[in-house]
A and B are shown apart, each in its own frame.
Chain A
C-alpha cells in the first residue's frame, strides 16, 4: 500500500511539474533572470504548492503517526551549519546554468532528450561525490 502511495505521489508531482512549465528549462532560467526578461511562473507554482502544504501539514502533523507507518520521518537537524549554506550556494549556481533542479530533471527523462539524461547522470555523480568527499 505504501508503494502505491509512493508511485501515486510521484505521478501527481510529475503532473504538477509538467503542467506548471517547470520542466521547461527556459522558464526556470527566466525566473532567475531578474535583470533580463523575467518570467514569474515559478513564484506562482511555489505559492500554490506552499499554499497547499502550509495548511495540510499543519493539520496532518497533529497526528501521532502517518496512516500507513509508525512515525513521521522528519529532518532532525535544526541548526544552520556550513554544509547547509555552502550546499545551497553550490546548488543555486548549478540550477542557474541549465534550469533544472532535481525534480524537473528526473521528470524530464520522460522527454527522451539527451540533455536531461546527461544532466541526471552528472547530478547523481555530483551527489555521490558529495557523499564520499564532503
Chain B
C-alpha cells in the first residue's frame, strides 16, 4: 500500500522542491508584500492601470532562469515534452488561462499561498480544480482515450 503510494515519487526531490517554492513565496511576501501567485503576477501585465510591471517580468524571467539552472547544475534530466497534440495544447492552455483569470488564481496563489492564509476562497478553489482535474482526466483518458 505504502509502496504503491510512493511509486514514482522521489521523496528528496519533491520535498526540497516544495521547500524552495515555499521559500520563494515567503521572500516575496516578506520583502515586497506580494503573493507569489503565478497567474496573478503574469496576468497583471494585461492591466493598464498597473504600473509596477517590471517586477512581474523579472519574476517570470526568474522562473525560466531557475528551471534552466536546476537542470544545468544538477543531474535531474529535462523532462520530455508533452505528448499532447497541438489542438489539445491550445485548448488546454486557453482553458487554464481563462479559468485562472476568472477564478483569480492557480495552484500557487490559491493552492500554496491561499491555503496557508486559511482563505475560504482559496481552499474552495483548490478543492474544485483538483476535483475537476481528476474527473476530467478520468473522462478524457479512461472513457474517451483522448489524452
User: B-contacting residues of A (Cβ < 8 Å)?
Assistant: 1-3, 5-27, 29-30, 32-37, 39-41, 44-54, 56-57, 60-61, 63, 65-75, 77-80, 83-103, 105-111, 113-116, 118-131, 134
- Tell me, rounded to whole Å, the shortest Cβ–Cβ distance linking A49 to chain B: 4
Supply 14 A–B pairs (Cβ within 8 Å), ascending by A.
A10-B63, A11-B66, A16-B24, A21-B14, A44-B11, A46-B111, A53-B113, A69-B32, A80-B124, A96-B132, A96-B136, A116-B81, A129-B98, A134-B98
Given contacts A5-B27, A66-B33, contact A128 B46 (CB under 8 A): yes
Q: Within the complex, which residue of A9, A93, A102, A130 is in contact with B28, where a contact is CB–CB below 8 Å? A: A9
> Which residues of A sit under 8 angstroms from B138, Cβ to Cβ?
33-35
User: A-contacting residues of B (Cβ < 8 Å)?
Assistant: 5-11, 13-36, 38-39, 42-43, 46, 54-56, 58-71, 74, 76, 78-84, 86, 88-104, 106-108, 110-117, 119-121, 124-126, 128-138, 140-142, 147
Sample of 5 further A-B pairs with CB below 8 A, known A126-B97, A126-B101, A128-B97: A97-B88, A97-B89, A122-B89, A130-B101, A131-B43
| Contact in complex: B29, A57 (CB < 8 Å) | yes
Instruction: Identify whether the interface residues of A are mostly helix, strand, loop, or mixed.
Output: helix
> Which residues of B sit under 8 angstroms from A105, Cβ to Cβ?
93, 96
A33 to B138, CA, bound (A): 6
B66 and chain A: residue at smallest CB distance:
A14
| Contact in complex: B18, A52 (CB < 8 Å) | yes
Instruction: Identify whether the interface residues of B are mostly helix, strand, loop, or mixed.
Output: helix
| Contact in complex: B8, A94 (CB < 8 Å) | no
B110 and chain A: residue at smallest CB distance:
A88
| Contact in complex: A111, B9 (CB < 8 Å) | no
| Contact in complex: A85, B124 (CB < 8 Å) | yes
| Contact in complex: A126, B96 (CB < 8 Å) | yes
Q: Within the complex, which residue of B9, B16, B82 is in contact with A19, where a contact is CB–CB below 8 Å? A: B16
